[in-house]
Amino acid sequence: MIKDKKMLVFSAHAADYVWRSGGTIAKYIENGADVTVIVMTFGVRGESNGIWKKGNQTYESVKEVRKKETAAAAEALGVKNIEYWDLVDYPINIDQDLEDRVLHTIRKYQPDIIITHDKNDILNPDHNAIHELVWRSSILSNSDGVITEGMPTTKQMKIFGFEPHQTEISGFVPNQFIDITSAYDKKVAAMNCFEGQHHLIEYYKQRAFLRGNHARRLSGNKEYKYAESFASFYPVVSEELV
84 vs 193: CA distance, rounded Å: 17
The least CB distance from residue 43 to Zn ion, in Å, is 6
The least CB distance from residue 126 to Zn ion, in Å, is 6
Instruction: Between 92 and 180, name the residue whose CB sits nearer to Zn ion.
Output: 92
User: Binding-site residue total for Zn ion (CB under 5 A)?
Assistant: 3
138 vs 213: CA distance, rounded Å: 33
Helix (H) and strand (E) counts in the chain: 7, 7
In 42-154, at which residue ranges do the beta strands (DSSP E only) sit? 81-87, 113-117
In Å, how far are 94, 97, 205 from 177, measured between CA atoms?
31, 35, 15
The least CB distance from residue 3 to Zn ion, in Å, is 30
Q: Quick check: helix, strand or coil at residue 88?
A: coil
Instruction: Between 13 and 101, name the residue whose CB sits nearer to Zn ion.
Output: 13
29 contacts: CB under 8 Å, gap ≥ 6: 35, 77, 78, 79, 80
The least CB distance from residue 118 to Zn ion, in Å, is 12
The least CB distance from residue 121 to Zn ion, in Å, is 8
CA 38, 40, 42, 43 dihedral sign is: negative
The least CB distance from residue 136 to Zn ion, in Å, is 19
Mask of contacts with Zn ion, 7-46, x by CB under 5 A?
-----xx--x------------------------------
Instruction: Between 33 and 65, name the residue whose CB sits nearer to Zn ion.
Output: 65
238 vs 179: CA distance, rounded Å: 21
Mask of contacts with Zn ion, 106-135, x by CB under 5 A?
------------------------------
Instruction: Between 19 and 224, name the residue whose CB sits nearer to Zn ion.
Output: 19
Instruction: Between 23 and 43, name the residue whose CB sits nearer to Zn ion.
Output: 43
Instruction: Between 16 and 34, name the residue whose CB sits nearer to Zn ion.
Output: 16
Nearest CA to 12 out of 94, 113, 77, 106 is that of 94
Could you list the residues that contact Zn ion (CB under 5 A)? 12-13, 16
